[in-house]
Chain A
Amino acid sequence: MTQSAPGPRVPDEQLLRQHVDGDPDAFGELVRRHQDRMWAVALRTLGDPHDAADALQDAMINAFRRAGSFRSESAVTTWLHRIVVNACLDRVRHQAARPADPVAFDGTEIPGVAPATEPSSDPAERTALRVDLEQALATLPADQRIPLILVDVEGFPVAEAAELLGLPVGTIKSRCARARAKLVPLLAPGRLNTTGNQATGGDVPSGTSRGTGGEHR
């Protein structure tokens, strides 16, 4: 996905500086470089492509405007990443202030989630699991999904996720724990072989998660 960039690749930081100095093309190049990465963050965090598109746009405009405030202690990707996460969180807060949308997380199809990487290099089972994981993530409640995305998918240290979300470390940990528990049925032994299960793959977590992992005897 990053095979473009003809010629020697200008470092991100330099592109950002060129943008601040008035180069009209520099920021666009930066966006092209990182948009697939940032799209993954936004889409997974929000679980809905339209919300993700809004958040990503907000984030990119925001980054465009405040590029001058970038300090080189962090990588440009880290800086962009935080801006995207913040834009997503802002959107979640915005949604929380509105009446809940009853169809938002109930297994409606999510275009763009399906992995587009070559499945040939990947056992079919793993691909199926990946798709199921993405779908299951999208069905988690936002207060569990977001900490889990930050910590398990994005690899943020728990303390940093806690700071981003404005929540105590213990809360982040237990919400991650709860979310993982809901995803366990996806990994239950034999699940990938029994095709019967897959038909209802969209609504895996909520109903059946509780006992299945631990109670078959």
Chain B
Amino acid sequence: MTTAGAHPPSHVLADLAEGVLDDAQARQVQAHVDQCLSCQATLDELAQVTVALRALPAEIPVPEFVAVRISHALAAERASGDAASAASAGSAGDGTVAWFRRRLPQGLAAAASVAVLGLAGYVAVGGGGGGSDSGGDGDVAAAEAQGGADDVGPSFSTPSDLARDGTLSTMQEPAPTVETPADAAPEALDPARLTTAVTEVVQGDAEPAGSDTCGEELADELGLPLVGSTNVGSGVLIVLDDATTYDGWLITTCGSTSNETMQPQVEVPKSE
């Protein structure tokens, strides 16, 4: 194939097709393309990329674990809404939980309600060592209804600008909060206790739950460095090093992997 000059790289051809080259460059590239079959073929393939992308299936079956997670989260959200309207003149809420909500990394506010609910579920079935929120929606709702109190919208400050079209502004809306039900919760498992436990593990002050490798399976599964572990209530608290937080996961035994909430029960910001 005889052509004048070198072939423009394909991204320049793509720019030409998109009309984003400046006039001079566009003329130059077009002049080459006009007499280069190879580049014409590339332009054709570029157009086919768009055609092929548009032809991708509009739907991809959502994996079971995602569907389950979302329906749990929505059940928790619904329950917290019910509880909030039921507990009319709720007090200002548990300071610790409010603190968590304020300190959570962005995007985890919603997850936080699940995590806390997961904890409530754990507590509800915790005697049997049953794991996270296997209590199901009903138990979660029940636990929530007992403890629901209104958290007067914490000022949720985030590092980046979320306000693109207001979509994320709901994070500033009053977020219903769960207080651990007094009658169902061993004192050891309330959020403040868990925070303290995480901090103690981080500082090396806590009694390890087992050997140094306690929680290693969980750490491996999640791909996060293991900080340590300690016994909490009837379970084991595993502390993992996430980028900006220390995550506390309540699991049944040292060898358990992630619990069903797929969220840590506690996240303690590193800076604090």
Q: Among B42, B46, B71, B110, point to the contact of A31 (Cβ < 8 A).
A: B71
Segment 14-52 of A: residues with Cβ below 8 Å from B: 24, 27-28, 31, 35-40, 43-44, 49, 52
Determine whether A164 belongs to the interface, using a CB cutoff of 8 Å to chain B. Answer: yes
Shortest B263–chain A CB gap in Å is 9
Report which A residues bind B (CB closer than 8 A). Answer: 1, 24, 27-28, 31, 35-40, 43-44, 49, 52-54, 56-58, 60-62, 64-66, 82-83, 86-87, 89-91, 93-94, 97-99, 111-113, 115-117, 129-130, 133-134, 137, 148, 152-153, 155, 164, 166, 170, 173-174, 176-178, 180-184, 186-189, 209-211, 213-217
Interface stretch among B3-11, B194-202, B228-236? B3-11
Q: Among A27, A39, A90, A170, point to the contact of B168 (Cβ < 8 A).
A: A90
Report which B residues bind A (CB closer than 8 A). Answer: 1, 7-11, 13-15, 17-20, 36, 38-39, 41-42, 45-46, 48-50, 52-63, 65-67, 69-71, 73-74, 77-78, 105-107, 110-111, 114, 159-160, 162, 164-165, 167-168, 170, 173, 243-244, 262
Output the nearest chain A residue to B85 by Cβ-Cβ distance. Answer: A22
**Residues of chain B within 8 A of A62, CB atoms compared:** 110, 167-168, 170
**Inter-chain contact A173/B20, CB cutoff 8 Å:** yes
Nearest first, the 7 closest Cβ-Cβ pairs linking A and B are: A177-B14, A181-B11, A36-B59, A39-B62, A152-B53, A61-B110, A181-B10
Q: Provided the pairs A184-B42, A214-B13 are in contact, do residues A133 and B52 lie with their beta carbons within 8 angstroms?
A: yes
Q: B interface, by DSSP: helix, strand, loop or mixed?
A: helix
**Residues of chain A within 8 A of B48, CB atoms compared:** 187
Output the nearest chain B residue to A43 by Cβ-Cβ distance. Answer: B60
Q: Among B9, B14, B15, B56, point to the contact of A134 (Cβ < 8 A).
A: B56
**Inter-chain contact A83/B66, CB cutoff 8 Å:** no
**Residues of chain A within 8 A of B114, CB atoms compared:** 57
Question: 12 additional contacts, CB 8 Å, given A1-B59, A36-B60, A112-B62?
Answer: A37-B58, A40-B57, A62-B168, A90-B160, A94-B105, A130-B52, A133-B53, A152-B54, A187-B52, A210-B9, A211-B7, A213-B42
Give Cα distance in the complex from A99 to B244, angstroms.
Answer: 10
Q: Among A35, A93, A97, A211, point to the contact of B70 (Cβ < 8 A).
A: A35
Which among B55, B105, B170 has the highest number of chain A CB atoms within 10 Å? B170
**Inter-chain contact B46/A61, CB cutoff 8 Å:** no
**Inter-chain contact B77/A178, CB cutoff 8 Å:** no
**Inter-chain contact A64/B61, CB cutoff 8 Å:** no
Q: Among B36, B38, B65, point to the contact of A216 (Cβ < 8 A).
A: B38
Shortest A139–chain B CB gap in Å is 14
Give Cα distance in the complex from A115 to B58, angstroms.
Answer: 11
**Inter-chain contact A83/B167, CB cutoff 8 Å:** yes
Q: Among A49, A52, A97, A213, point to the contact of B160 (Cβ < 8 A).
A: A97
**Residues of chain A within 8 A of B38, CB atoms compared:** 214-217
**Residues of chain B within 8 A of A94, CB atoms compared:** 105-107, 160
Q: Among A37, A64, A86, A148, point to the contact of B74 (Cβ < 8 A).
A: A64
**Residues of chain A within 8 A of B244, CB atoms compared:** 98
Output the nearest chain A residue to B159 by Cβ-Cβ distance. Answer: A97
**Residues of chain B within 8 A of A155, CB atoms compared:** 54
**Residues of chain B within 8 A of A36, CB atoms compared:** 59-62
**Residues of chain B within 8 A of A153, CB atoms compared:** 53-54, 56
Give Cα distance in the complex from A90 to B42, angstroms.
Answer: 35
Give Cα distance in the complex from A177 to B65, angstroms.
Answer: 35
19 contacts between A and B (CB under 8 A): A24-B78, A31-B71, A36-B61, A37-B59, A38-B62, A56-B62, A57-B111, A58-B107, A61-B73, A83-B167, A87-B168, A90-B162, A152-B50, A173-B19, A174-B18, A213-B41, A213-B42, A214-B38, A216-B38
**Residues of chain B within 8 A of A97, CB atoms compared:** 159-160
Give Cα distance in the complex from A52 to B17, angstroms.
Answer: 32
Q: Among B57, B61, B173, B243, point to the contact of A99 (Cβ < 8 A).
A: B243
Give Cα distance in the complex from A35 to B70, angstroms.
Answer: 10
**Inter-chain contact B74/A173, CB cutoff 8 Å:** no
**Inter-chain contact B53/A60, CB cutoff 8 Å:** no
**Inter-chain contact B49/A86, CB cutoff 8 Å:** no
**Residues of chain A within 8 A of B168, CB atoms compared:** 62, 86-87, 90
Output the nearest chain B residue to A35 by Cβ-Cβ distance. Answer: B62
**Inter-chain contact B20/A53, CB cutoff 8 Å:** no
Give Cα distance in the complex from A88 to B65, angstroms.
Answer: 19
**Residues of chain B within 8 A of A99, CB atoms compared:** 243
**Residues of chain B within 8 A of A93, CB atoms compared:** 160
